[in-house]
Structure 1
Amino acid sequence: MPAITEPLRIAVLVGSTREGRFAPVVTKWLSGHLGQRDDMRADVVDLAETPLPTVFPAFGQQPPPGTEEALALVTPRLAAADAFVLVTPEYNHSYPASLKNAIDWHNEQWHGKPIGFVSYGGLSGGLRAVEHLRVVMAELNAMTIRNTVSFHDAWSRFDADGSVKDPAADTAAKALLDQLAWWAHALRDARSVRPYAA
């Protein structure tokens, strides 16, 4: 069977929902890199704009009212994705509750797909959040790629127009997306031949 050549569908999950968050600056920069690529099409899923319920039903119980409508704004977009990039800050040595909530509301949407990370924060640059996410996503049968982009002291790394001050970040973004593309093509081709065995 020939490999699929249509552009890869990349879902970019914006993990922070806090008021005054820095996430839109980082996401806009990343989206600029995705927009320059012919092999990728980005879908930005901003969890502040598509909030999911925070109360899970007990086993065998009905979900809270509005759950189906809220999930309908997110779940099909995750299911359609060939790969993901999670944009996350670091809160208290880990990642935001809003991102964990979005991850937990889904399961098979992650299966057999690669995930890249763009993190930001203070001294750690969000890397502790990324390491926590790697363990969680492994449990959901996703494949996290090695390369990451991390912004230490993120607020000083961008100018007033939202461009990065250090061109090394742009080089890192290209390396991240190149690696993500390799895995996304390989895994999409594999899923087209046989369903992922969870």
Structure 2
Amino acid sequence: MIEVEIKVKIDNKDEIIEKLKKFGFKFIKKKFQEDIYFNGIDRDFRKTDEALRIRDDDGTFFITYKGPKLDNISKTREEIEVKIEDKEKMRLILKKLGFKEVLPIRKIREIYKKGDIIASIDNVEGLGLFLELEKSISDSEITKKDEILNELLDLLKSLNISKDKIIRKSYLELRGEYGKI
């Protein structure tokens, strides 16, 4: 799966929500997420622009690999995700294999959806408020990536947010603690 995504820092959450609803987005849910990241054994994921994490999504657990970003504008990248039963056992397996655990990222996420576009408003511990706009496509639809990115950029413009505000860094990179264990 390819996740076409753009992210911006916001400080006007209520205004953004009001505009999303005006454009037909519906509130889906509010949830807690904790992401436990790991750095590689044979390579430094900071240098290869990859990510490996265990996500606690309100008590449902996933392990996710994210490949390098595919363009210079967005956070579009390959994402492979598998549901797991026990996050602590998976965490232990990864640590025993030599992966280096990084301090977790915690956030409260509010999800809004219109068609196949998801708008998430994240309140990230220690970082503040962000808006993420994303749409997922299959690997075979990679030729549609630019078209979808333009669709998300148009939505961003409709929200009166300049594309100059786009942040390509992950929350982990923004926190500046990728290498801290």
Which of the two has greater helix per residue? Answer: 1
Between the two structures, name the one with larger relative contact order (CA 8 Å, sep ≥ 6). Answer: 2
Measured against the shorter chain, the TM-score band is 0.3 to 0.5
TM superposition score normalised by structure 2: 0.33
TM superposition score normalised by structure 1: 0.31
